[in-house]
Chain A
Amino acid sequence: MSDPTLLILASLADGDKHGYAMLEDIQRFASVRLGPGTLYGAITRLEQRGWIRAVRWADDRRQPYALTAEGRRHLQAQLSELDQLVKAGLRRLRHA
């Protein structure tokens, strides 16, 4: 899985994070190293779609983001589809 928007949503599912924390987290749980341009391109698009939002923070440079309710629903739907795909693929491999 290398879709950066999905990776960011999954990263924010367990709590608010700023850009660098997302990079570290994604590298840890998905072994994917996003470039800074790719990360902020995805953040821009996710915020425009209303799937994430900037949260108030004392440090005005390291801006954390949070998943919105709509973003959580989208992530849930995407992961359910992936789950079905994985299960179907594994089932077919077992019967091949």
Chain B
Amino acid sequence: MKRIARSLIRLYPRQWRVRYGREFAALLEDAELTWRDLADMIAGALCIRQGEYYVMDHPAASPRILDFKDRDIPHGFEMESAIEYTRGDGQPAIVRQFYREIDLGDSYVMISHSARDSEPAQTIVVSGVKGEVSGDFRSDPTEMLVLNPDGSVRHTQQTVNTWLKGEVFREKARASYHSGLEAGLSLDQIFKKWTQNPGLPAS
């Protein structure tokens, strides 16, 4: 459980990890963790990434999935979502996101395009070359372009450790979504069922 929790820190933005990563890891070492804590970490990472704040212990502040689509496409998949969050000041905010991932064999491309309410969107394009595998991780040289809402562009190159079991986890989440739809569940029911048993791979 603790090993999975440590791996989930990678979901948090790099800048956040530089500031809080070490102490967050220390907290995970000290605390008795449950599956619910892992779901709490995933939700926390999503909110930090979107500059929002979401509290799982506060039912009124839980995100509401307004729309979600997941599609297989040639060499990859794409997802569209519209999620309503309650911000720290109590006001609702709708975040719309489009995500596409293409596997080109030895390399891959990921595109994320997201916007909050009527504000200008942020687009992130990542291209990576599959590197050497060591244990559960693969070392990938990547290039990232961040097209900010204010028109500025940030270009970075770095080697990223990709958690291979994370891909298994993601595929299970996608399978859970599709089987939920086939069973006639609502999006909120599917999300709730998944957070109760996210099917994280054993470490």
Contact = CB atoms under 8 A, between A and B. Distances in A.
Interface of A: 2-5, 18-20, 23, 32-45, 60-63
Contacts, number: 87
B44 interface: yes
A42 B53 CA distance: 8
Contacts of A42: 53, 55
Interface residues on B, range: 20 to 34
Contacts of A61: 22-23, 25-26
Given A36-B37, A37-B41, A40-B20, A19 B53 contact: no
Nearest to B54: A41
B7 to A, nearest CB: 14
B129 interface: no
B47 interface: yes
Rank and list the top 7 A-B pairs by shortest CB-CB distance, nearest first.
A37-B44, A35-B40, A20-B30, A19-B27, A61-B26, A63-B23, A37-B40
Nearest to B19: A44
Dominant secondary structure at the B interface: helix
A20 B48 contact: no
Interface of B: 5, 16, 20, 22-28, 30-31, 33, 36-37, 39-45, 47-48, 53-58, 88
A46 B63 CA distance: 21
Contacts of B23: 18-19, 61-63
A35 B22 contact: no
Select the residue from A39, A42, A61 with max chain B CB neighbours within 10 A. Answer: A61
Nearest to B33: A36
A64 B5 CA distance: 21
